[in-house]
Structure 1
Amino acid sequence: MKLVFAGTPEPAVPTLKALIASGHEVIAVLTRPDARKGRGRKMVPSPVKEVALEHGIEVLTPSTLKAGTEDGDAIRARLAELAPDAIPVVAYGNLVPKDLLDVAQHGWVNLHFSLLPAWRGAAPVQAAINAGDDITGATTFQIEEGLDTGPLLGTTTETIQTVDTAGALLERLSHSGAQLMVATMDGLESGTLVAQPQQGEPTYAPKISTEDARVSWTQPDFAVGRHIRAHSPFPGAWTMHGEDRIKIGKVSPLHAAAQELGELPHLEPGQLHITKKAVYIGTASTPVRIDELQPVGKKMMNAADWGRGQGAKNNSEDNDIDGEVFFA
């Protein structure tokens, strides 16, 4: 089939590469315009655009798909000329107006990183980890007007590991999802694939804000751990230490059999206990050990190194601080 691929960020790249390597023909790529990034604020193309250019594929970068706008009208004209059989989509980042949904024979086919109707919305991977799901996956479905409501074409499942961050899980899903998209295009071309309506009660995963990533130490240890993993690497879980905002990179749960647990004093939620070798913090249940954190203006670092610095600031000879130091 002739395909116009729509996608923008890095997780969309495996699917584009898989489609290019398949028996289908990617005749154009639809992606978001170049954006300013980094300290120099230079204009940078999307990861999808970079791959398309490497393969000599036409790139379309409208700022909007709305009819009646210069970009919107131009993209309608070009898609009509290209006459794609299907438009596979992975994290494109632009709403598709109703009048464009029928521009291709097989429509716009989205790859969503959950098992729909679970976790409809912008942050399904983060939501699955934060909720403590054991299994997630990826789904291909035909885009319609509703938010991730279209009929299903295919699914693949993925086990969520206890150490998975959102970044690590999304990386795996982007590759297994790429193969699912190729299989979906194959099935649509052969006519063996029939879309099925979604079944079950939907759950939702809205876009995550920086404020959403703030750690609540009044949650039990397992919930704190899930929250931190769900928001890593972006936007990054964080907490306040005095007037400083500190990112929390990784924590390790403790349990009743842990030898180190018996050495800890009682810690209230958010209360720190810093030794020469580790940094602990209280939760609503068992304390957790902070392994990595990022102070303001610095890179992610070993929490024990940060803790030793805090001991020096407080003139602690044994470098053991507790009772007065809190994260909030």
Structure 2
Amino acid sequence: MLKLLFAGTPDVAVPSLKAFAADPRFEVAAVLTRPDAPTGRGRKLKPSPVKAAALELGIPVIDAKPRDPGFLDTLKSLDVDIAAVIAYGNILPADVLDAVPLGWYNLHFSNLPAWRGAAPVQRAIWAGDATTGADVFKVGVGLDDGPVIATMSVELTGRETSGELLDRLAEEGAPMYVDALARVGEGTAVYTPQPADGFTYAHKITVEDARIDFTKPLEEIDRQIRACTPHPGAWCALHAGGDAGDAEPLTLHILRAQPADPQNPNTPTSLEPGELKTGKRNVWVGTGTTPLELTEVKVQGKKAMRAADWARGARLASGARLA
């Protein structure tokens, strides 16, 4: 039985933690996660999803940072054989990496060397990739450049959001992750170096990156919305038009959208970029090419709504637009 340290923080790491905890080939000695963080309007401290899962499983939790004084001593006292790290959120220094005999192994949500970095799923969707996947690799001091010991690939439908794709990869990747680390313990793992070229970086998507430019082509805007859903959330400014034309624009989050259906007789044939048109059951907005249909939206500070319901309640005036 391999004694394992599991490091992770968000929801996407939970399926892997549960898979390791349920597998008789492993003993999860402890979970390493980020400290409780303030959330919500009350700013109350809330444990990370991984910490909550670990406590339910009865696994000890460590929330010290890897560079904190005494962390290395704590790690050595666990006497683990191997470590799994997935979406942990802190950099592991060389002495911490070296303190685990069989090494640290990461489940990364792309097929390396494509999309190394913080937002591989989001960038794959935004780029319009036909396929993506998940790899298990040995962690070193470089950025996601270690040798790969397991890989899986999936085809993209062209309609999934980054949240949906992350959930899928997290669930399907967990059994592969467990089996891969078991092979490391058995000495049968095959280490495949990543190519020296052909890599791409998946830089974190900022709130400003998520602002929609409606002069862009429909296909690019559609991919952007899906890539930014649920985080950080695609958004734009709503200019109400009419008598409210000089009012401060509202922030409108686009939660769901799709290319306008050309078979629908009510679909406008053309709209100026950002121009809004509403029907009884539809809301369309112009792009740099063909219209986009909005299906779910959220005004800043309000609840999410079907776009048609929002438009009726908003009573949009002539000249209303998004920018």
- TM-score tier (shorter): over 0.9
Q: Does 1:53 align with 2:55?
A: yes
Mapped to 2, the partners of 1:80 and 1:268 lie a distance apart of 63
Structure 1 runs (4+) deviating above 2 angstroms are 254-261
Q: Residue 270 of structure 1: which of 267, 274, 284 is its match?
A: 274
2:266 maps to 260
1:214 maps to 211
Q: Residue 40 of structure 1: which of 23, 32, 42 is its match?
A: 42
- Matched residue of 2:98: which SS? coil
- Matched residue of 1:13: which SS? helix
Deviation of 1:169 (Å)? 0.5
Q: Does 1:201 align with 2:198?
A: yes
1:142 maps to 138
Query: Do the aligned partners of 1:255 and 1:286 also contact (CA within 8 Å) in 2?
Result: no
- Matched residue of 1:305: which SS? helix
Q: Which runs of 5+ in 2 are unaligned?
A: 240-248
Q: Residue 321 of structure 2: which of 319, 323, 326 is its match?
A: 326
Query: Do the aligned partners of 2:128 and 2:158 also contact (CA within 8 Å) in 1?
Result: no
Q: Number of paired residues?
A: 311
Cα gap change, 1:278 to 1:257, in 2 (>3 Å):
closer
1:308 maps to 312
Query: Do the aligned partners of 2:235 and 2:251 also contact (CA within 8 Å) in 1?
Result: yes
Mapped to 1, the partners of 2:173 and 2:41 lie a distance apart of 33
- Matched residue of 2:173: which SS? helix
Query: Do the aligned partners of 2:66 and 2:92 also contact (CA within 8 Å) in 1?
Result: yes
- Matched residue of 2:7: which SS? strand
Q: Deviations over 1:93-130 (max 9, x none)?
A: 11001111111122110111110111111111100110
Which residue identity is paired with 1:105? P
Mapped to 1, the partners of 2:46 and 2:302 lie a distance apart of 25
Aligned ranges 1:34-113 → 2 under 5 Å: 34-62=36-64, 64-66=65-67, 72-113=68-109
Q: Give the TM-score normalised by structure 1.
A: 0.91
Cα gap change, 1:133 to 1:265, in 2 (>3 Å):
closer
Q: Residue 177 of structure 1: which of 173, 180, 190 is its match?
A: 173
Identity of aligned residues (%): 46
1:187 maps to 183
Deviation of 1:229 (Å)? 0.7
Which residue identity is paired with 2:232? P
26-35 or 50-59, which deviates more? 50-59
- Matched residue of 1:289: which SS? strand
Query: Do the aligned partners of 1:86 and 1:106 also contact (CA within 8 Å) in 2?
Result: yes
Q: Does 1:8 align with 2:9?
A: yes
Query: Do the aligned partners of 1:154 and 1:184 also contact (CA within 8 Å) in 2?
Result: yes
Q: Deviations over 1:231-276 (max 9, x none)?
A: 1111110000121110001112125444333xx2531111111223
Which residue identity is paired with 2:182? D
Query: Do the aligned partners of 1:27 and 1:58 also contact (CA within 8 Å) in 2?
Result: yes
- Matched residue of 1:101: which SS? helix
1:239 maps to 236
Deviation of 1:10 (Å)? 0.7
Mapped to 1, the partners of 2:177 and 2:270 lie a distance apart of 52
2:149 maps to 153
CA RMSD of aligned residues (A): 1.4
Which residue identity is paired with 2:221? V
Q: Deviations over 1:176-220 (max 9, x none)?
A: 111111011111011111211102411111111111111111111
Mapped to 2, the partners of 1:230 and 1:266 lie a distance apart of 25
Q: Which runs of 5+ in 1 are unaligned?
A: 67-71, 315-320
- Matched residue of 1:286: which SS? coil
- Matched residue of 2:201: which SS? coil
2:243 maps to none
Mapped to 2, the partners of 1:60 and 1:307 lie a distance apart of 48
Q: Deviations over 1:130-177 (max 9, x none)?
A: 011111111111111111111111111122122201111000000111
